[in-house]
Amino acid sequence: MPRLSPTAIILLSFALIILAGTILLLLPVAAVGKPLSFVEALFTATSATCVTGLTVIDIGTRLTFWGQLVVLILIQIGGLGIMTFSTFFSFLLARRLSIREREILHQTLTQYPIKDIASLLKTVFIFTILLEGAGLLVYWIRFVHQFPALKAFYLAAFHAISAFCNAGFSLFSDSLVRFRGDWVVNLNTMFLIVWGGLGFIVVYDLWKNMANLRAGRRFSLELHSKMVLTTTGVLIVGGAALFFLLENFNIFRGMPWPDRLLASLFQSITARTAGFNTIDVGGLTNASLMLLAVLMLIGASPASCGGGIKTSTFTVLMAMIAARFRNQEDVNYMNRRISQDVVSRAIVIVFFSVVIIGLFTMLLLVSELHGQAHEQTRGAYLEILFEAVSAFGTVGLSTGVTPHLTTVGRLLIIALMYIGRLGPLTVALAVTGGGERRLPYRYAEDHVLVG
């Protein structure tokens, strides 16, 4: 039997945990009333493991406490990554990492070697526990005024884990719409989403540099961290400003100005893979839906709990376009040259992502509209495109289409969530066997016309 590559192991591990979650959710004890159907259980397990948040059921009322607990465990495992969990517990038992485990962790958390991979792994878990614990405490202080203490604690724990893992699952049927003007809930949720979406490599870099500051040494971030932090800040502020302008005379009409600003900031942050919402997404303008779709496509950062093409991929692509406009061969960022391999990888990721979203959107249009003419289904195209981008970006925002999908449509969204969480390039490498194949020769150069 051939030895599986790290990429294939990651794909298989996600598939197995989804299957296990589906089986658990099919049990009568997991649902209120009649058990879930197979597709409902598979959809929910996939959405939780891929930290997406799209649902065909109301998990707050349809699932029992045990069913919700299964979803919560899947969110936590899926957010950090199955192989990260298994390798961490292997490290706790053996106190060391094998070469194979290091190879898998490099594939899961980063694409370049890190000397102290064990330290990175410990930082990931300590940081996760601290952030989720702090978020739980803030939520509990807020919820305990509305619910009994034990229920408030459970709601706080569920939403803290869901927010940090960028899952977007909520036990409230309206997500967080009821807390639209609540600054404590909003700021706490945004704080968890942002930190969960920065990526563990950035967190580890910040952690090391804080230690350097305490030791009197220089604070110097890696280029990747600078790129991620800068891009994240620009997207949050830019997205919030645009959303505010686009909705100021629509869904914000009659809303107090502080609530408008808070809702704009919240939607800008949650659109990049979290999936919570404090306003009715179905009531947004077409321009706002397109803005959110762009933010969902960009997504979070590499080695994070979020999906999308990733912030650094987007920035590298923009830097490449800027360099070509200036007729420069090198792609530069912050006085550093980005390698051609990284630029090529960014182009391939964006290309594959756009192709996959386009293909699945077309399939969804066929499965959901049943060959109806355009004039009979006005608005459906944008709603289905939005749904496809949301699934691929593992976001979870929806205009209300999800519960009404056909069985074929639900299976298509399941596949899209799986591909989006693992990354189109990862899936392609696993299918093709991965590995770099260099030809021992080069063909003669020639010219063609383009553009």
Distance (Å) of CA 95 to CA 104, 118, 121, 122, 435? 17, 9, 12, 12, 30
Q: Is the pLDDT of residue 246 over 90?
A: yes
| Residue 103: pLDDT band with limits 50, 70, 90 | low
Full 3-state SS string of the chain: CCCCCHHHHHHHHHHHHHHHHHHHHHCHHHECCCCCCHHHHHHHHHHHHCCCCCCCCCHHHHECHHHHHHHHHHHHHHHHCHHHHHHHHHHHHHCCCCHHHHHHHHHHHCCCCCCCHHHHHHHHHHHHHHHHHHHHHHHHHHHCCCCCHHHHHHHHHHHHHHHHCCCCCCCCCCCCHHHCCCHHHHHHHHHHHHHHHHCHHHHHHHHHHHHHHHCCCCCCCCHHHHHHHHHHHHHHHHHHHHHHHHHCCCCCCCCCHHHHHHHHHHHHHHCCCCCCCCCCHHHCCHHHHHHHHHHHHHCCCCCCCCCCCCHHHHHHHHHHHHHHHCCCCCEEECCEEECHHHHHHHHHHHHHHHHHHHHHHHHHHHHHHCCCCHHHCCCHHHHHHHHHHHHHCCCCCCCCCHHHCCHHHHHHHHHHHHHHHHCHHHHHHHHHCCCCCCCCCCCCCCCCCCC
Query: Which tokens belong to 387?
Result: 């749904």
Q: Is the pLDDT of residue 89 over 80?
A: no
pLDDT per residue as tens digits for the range 129-156: 999 999 999 999 999 999 999 999 999 9
Q: Which residues of 63-93 are buried (b: 16+ CB within 10 A; e: fewer)?
A: beeebbebbbbbbbbbbbbbbbbebbeebee
Mean pLDDT of 436-450: 75
With both helix axes pointing from N to C terminus, report the angle between 340-369 and 424-432 in degrees, rounded to the nearest 10: 100
Please name the residues in contact with 442: beta carbons below 8 A apart, sequence gap of 6 or more.
Answer: none
7 pLDDT exceeds 90?
no
Is the pLDDT reported for residue 290 higher than 90? Answer: yes
Residue 176 has pLDDT above 80, yes or no: yes
Do 394 and 273 meet the contact criterion of CB atoms below 8 Å apart? yes
Q: What percent of the chain has pLDDT over 70?
A: 86
- CA dist 351 and 255 (Å) reads 40
Q: For the residues 50-58, what does the mean pLDDT come to?
A: 93
Tokens of 198: 């920065």
Q: What is the pTM of this model?
A: 0.90
Q: Are 48 and 21 in contact (CB under 8 A)?
A: yes
The answer to whether residue 79 scores a pLDDT higher than 60 is yes
Up-side HSE of residue 220: CA atoms within 13 Å toward CB?
A: 3
Does residue 438 have a pLDDT over 70? no
Q: What is the pLDDT of residues 247-281, one digit of tens each?
A: 999 999 989 999 999 999 999 999 988 889 999 99
